[in-house]
Amino acid sequence: MAAAKTTLDAFLDFLDYSSDNEKQDRTLETPHIDRVLQQYNGGTKKKPSRSTEGKVGVAETSPSPSNNYGNRLVALESQIKELMQDKTKEARKSLGKTIIIGGKKASSEESDSSSDQENRVRNNVKIRKRPSRQNVSSIADDKKAKNQLQTSGVARHTHCHTREPLTHKREVEEERERRWKSEQASVKLAEHVRRLQLQSEDWQKKFEVSVTKRNQLESALINEKEKASQLSIEIKRLKTLQEDEMADAKRLQRRCEDQSKRLFDYEEQVERLERARSQLFTDTSESLREAETRAAASEREVSLQQQAIKKLELQLQQLQDLLATREREHQKDLERLQPLESHSVQELIQRELERERMRSETIALQLKEKLQTQQKAYRDLEEEFRAGLRIEAARYQQLETDHVKLAEDLALCQDQLESTRGKENQATSLISELSSIVKEQKVRISDLLSSRQELNKQLDNKTKQLDTETIARAKYEERVQILQEENTNLLARLSAQDSLLVGLREEKKLWSQELANQGAALAQDRGRYESKIESLQIQVSELQELAQNNKTTIRVREKVIEDQTSTIKSLKEEAQDLKRQLSTNQSDLLDKIDELNGQIEEERSRREESQEQLGVETEQKIYIEEQLHESQNSTKKWKDKYSKLKGQWEERIGLISALEESVQQLQERSRQREEKLMNERDTAIGESREASERLLLMKAELQEQSQSQKKMVEERVAVLLKEKDREIDAANRKVAMAEEEMKQVLAESVRERKAMEAKFQRLSKAFQDMQKELS
């Protein structure tokens, strides 16, 4: 600006000097031209002023300034060239600065840039309108000065027409031509200077706008740095959380292993208890069979004895009738025979009485021995039943303790499931946050692309405006080449990002296939827990290897990106700012991808834990089903035993029929004996009365004993049946509960699978949108 002002001042001095020279050049005489002008003007200026006369006198002494005009023109041309060169240099510098600043533009400042551009356009329009008016006024002033010079020249020539010779006409015409050319050159120079001033003002305004934009970009960079620091802090926090969660996962795995070992021990103990229970059941069943057989035998004996007693009572009644009839006959015979008081009759009676006494004593001893043996057997059975009840009570207590422990383990497993669900919810929230961050990055990339397009447009416009300058053309071509190289680099980065997205999609496909395989394995191989654990461990190792390979690939790509950034850093400051932004965005994306991989690994571990829990629950279900089958088998065994007992009862009925036949034979023998004892009626009647009384007492005792034994046996059988029914009901309830739990777990697993598939679909859609926008 200062240089422009100095040049303008010099040019004004030149104009003043030229006007003074014109005033001094009025000594030149052009008589013929003056005459023509006077005729043309109608003699308006016939009386010259005094001032002109005085000035003419001064001009007569002054030399001709033609040489001074040439020198002044050369000096002005040199100054104008220098000024043009300075302005072109300043324009180039300001262009470079604006390009650099334009490369640093952020998406958040597009509105400011658009408003600034509108202000620039308006200012340019106003500035371009102003110089047109100034040019018009300057042209009008020049015309007025020219007319004044012409009139003054005419007046001067009219006054000096008689003084100067005609030889000066040519010189005057040449001088006028020179003056007219110099005036035209001065007008053009003034217009050019004004244009340069306006351009300098525009460049200053642009420079101020670029400074403001630079400040805004610096503030945006500071904000981005703060955000990057916050993100690094969050990444550290997430890493710590990941480490804690990995430690928790390891602890949970250890707990699961301990629980599986405990469950295996419990299963072994339960199997041992079941074996002992089966042995006890077999022993008790055998003892019950023996007791039942003994009781049935005793009942049969009692029934036979009762039948025999009834028959004997009938026989006694018949004998009494016979005795009454025979007594009469006997009395008649006695009247005929010897009297009872005779010695021979009394001896016979005594002999028969002793025989009957001996027989009754032997029968009583036999019955007492049978009662003692039955009482011993009953006591043995009672002791066996008591031992069996004690063992069953101890087993029931152990089962209750095991049930309590298993309930506690189930509560812990449910707590772990709730914690895993909470962690899955956290993972879903993190995924949503990451998707929002990805969307923000997409918006930023689109803003950067739009700013880049705007920069390209500006560069194109500036190249069109500065086609005349070869130096500017070369520089702009270099810049365009640099921008093309940047474009190629950016395309290479975008292709790398596309490859990363393809890798993520392949991983997603692998995950979906693995999830489908796992679901099929869960549906098909519920009872094969050990083989499933081995397969899952193999899958975990494979997935870990895949994750390590992915990490290695990501690290290699990061190194490649770092190498590219190191090569690109050697370029100009314009590309460096853009690359820094892109490298920060890519590092954020890679970190987020690492976080996603960590979350996926956590979800894998959680799924493995849930699958292990499902396996444990399936084992419990299988165990309960085995118990059910065993209970069903035991019921079948009881039914078989019942059928066998029925067969035995039928066999015993046959034996009873055989015994009845033998009794009939005995009755016939007894009848024969009765016929023999008809003669010994008095002794037989007395002995029969005593025997009948004894038999009645023994019958009452035997009935009481048999009834008490029957009641005890029936009560014990009823208790055992009730216990068995309770156990069967409890087992059925457990089976129903286990089935409901398995249904709930399967439903939850299906829901989780659907949620994960929806998440993967969302991620795939987001990545596809990113690819479309980047492409």
Does residue 169 sit in the same domain as residue 270?
no
Does residue 563 sit in the same domain as residue 678?
yes
Q: What are the tens digits of pLDDT across the range 680-701?
A: 767 656 666 776 677 677 767 7
The CA-atom distances, in angstroms, between 309 and each of 88, 361, 665, 698 are 151, 18, 16, 11
Q: Is the pLDDT of residue 568 over 80?
A: no
Does residue 380 sit in the same domain as residue 361?
yes
Can you tell me the distance from the alpha carbon of 253 to that of 610, in angstroms, rounded to the nearest whole number? 11
What pLDDT, on a 0 to 100 scale, did the predictor assign at position 210? 72
Q: What are the tens digits of pLDDT across the range 102-138?
A: 444 444 444 444 444 444 444 443 334 344 444 434 4
Mean pLDDT of 516-543: 65
> How is residue 661 written in tokens?
């036949």
Enumerate long-range contacts of 489-497, CB under 8 Å, 24 or more apart.
489/564, 489/568, 489/579, 490/578, 490/582, 492/564, 493/561, 493/564, 493/582, 493/586, 494/774, 494/775, 496/557, 496/560, 496/561, 497/586, 497/589, 497/770, 497/774
26 backbone dihedrals φ, ψ, rounded to 5°: -70, -5
- The most confident of the ranges 16-20, 243-247, 555-559, 752-756 is 752-756
Fill in the DSSP letter of residue 595: H
Domain boundary among 165, 190, 224: 224
What pLDDT, on a 0 to 100 scale, did the predictor assign at position 524? 62
Q: Is the pLDDT of residue 754 over 80?
A: yes
**Cβ(604)–Cβ(540) below 8 Å:** yes
- The most confident of the ranges 181-195, 534-548, 602-616 is 181-195
Looking at per-residue pLDDT, the higher value among 639 and 404 belongs to 404
Q: Is the pLDDT of residue 44 over 50?
A: no
Mean pLDDT of 530-558: 69
Q: Is the pLDDT of residue 152 over 60?
A: no
Mean pLDDT of 409-427: 74
Please, which pLDDT band fits residue 98 given cuts at 50, 70 and 90?
A: very low
Does residue 121 sit in the same domain as residue 147?
yes
Mean pLDDT of 554-577: 64
SS3 463: helix
Does residue 511 sit in the same domain as residue 547?
yes
Please, which pLDDT band fits residue 304 given cuts at 50, 70 and 90?
A: confident
Does residue 605 sit in the same domain as residue 483?
yes
What pLDDT, on a 0 to 100 scale, did the predictor assign at position 37? 55
Residue linked to tokens 């940047």: 486
Domain boundary among 181, 203, 224: 224
**Cβ(356)–Cβ(690) below 8 Å:** no
Sign of the CA dihedral running 449, 453, 454, 456 = positive
Q: If you write DSSP's letter for every residue of 685-711 in order, what string do you get?
A: HHHHHHHHHHHHHHHHHHHHHHHHHHH
Work out the mean pLDDT of the chain and round it to a whole number.
Answer: 67
- Look up residue 707 and give its amino acid: Q
Does residue 625 sit in the same domain as residue 743?
yes
What pLDDT, on a 0 to 100 scale, did the predictor assign at position 148? 47
Distance of CA 770 to the CA centre of its chain: 21
- Look up residue 404 and give its amino acid: V
Q: Is the pLDDT of residue 369 over 80?
A: yes
Of the CA atoms within 13 Å of residue 696, those in its CB half-sphere come to 6
> How is residue 530 written in tokens?
């050990």
Q: Is the pLDDT of residue 280 over 80?
A: no
Q: Is the pLDDT of residue 401 over 70?
A: yes
> How is residue 94 written in tokens?
């300001």
Can you tell me the distance from the alpha carbon of 193 to that of 80, in angstroms, rounded to the nearest whole number? 8
Q: What are the tens digits of pLDDT across the range 724-752?
A: 778 778 777 877 786 777 778 778 878 88
Domain boundary among 224, 254, 282: 224
What pLDDT, on a 0 to 100 scale, did the predictor assign at position 113? 46
Q: What are the tens digits of pLDDT across the range 82-97?
A: 766 665 666 565 555 4
Mean pLDDT of 374-389: 75
Does residue 452 sit in the same domain as residue 469?
yes
String of b and e for 6-31 (b: at least 16 CB within 10 Å)? ebbeebeebbeebeebbbbbbbbbbb
SS3 654: helix
The CA-atom distances, in angstroms, between 125 and each of 30, 79, 98, 115, 531 are 49, 29, 20, 15, 83
* Residue 300 domain boundaries: 225-774
Does residue 342 sit in the same domain as residue 385?
yes
Q: Is the pLDDT of residue 626 over 50?
A: yes
What pLDDT, on a 0 to 100 scale, did the predictor assign at position 145? 47
What pLDDT, on a 0 to 100 scale, did the predictor assign at position 46? 40
What pLDDT, on a 0 to 100 scale, did the predictor assign at position 376? 82
Mean pLDDT of 623-649: 69
Q: What are the tens digits of pLDDT across the range 318-331?
A: 777 777 777 777 67
Instruction: Give the chain's domain count.
Output: 2
pTM for this entry: 0.20
Q: Is the pLDDT of residue 395 over 80?
A: no
The CA-atom distances, in angstroms, between 531 and each of 249, 458, 514 are 22, 69, 17
The proportion of the chain whose per-residue pLDDT surpasses 90, expressed as a percent, equals: 0
Does residue 74 sit in the same domain as residue 137?
yes
Does residue 245 sit in the same domain as residue 149?
no
Does residue 192 sit in the same domain as residue 262?
no
Mean pLDDT of 580-607: 68
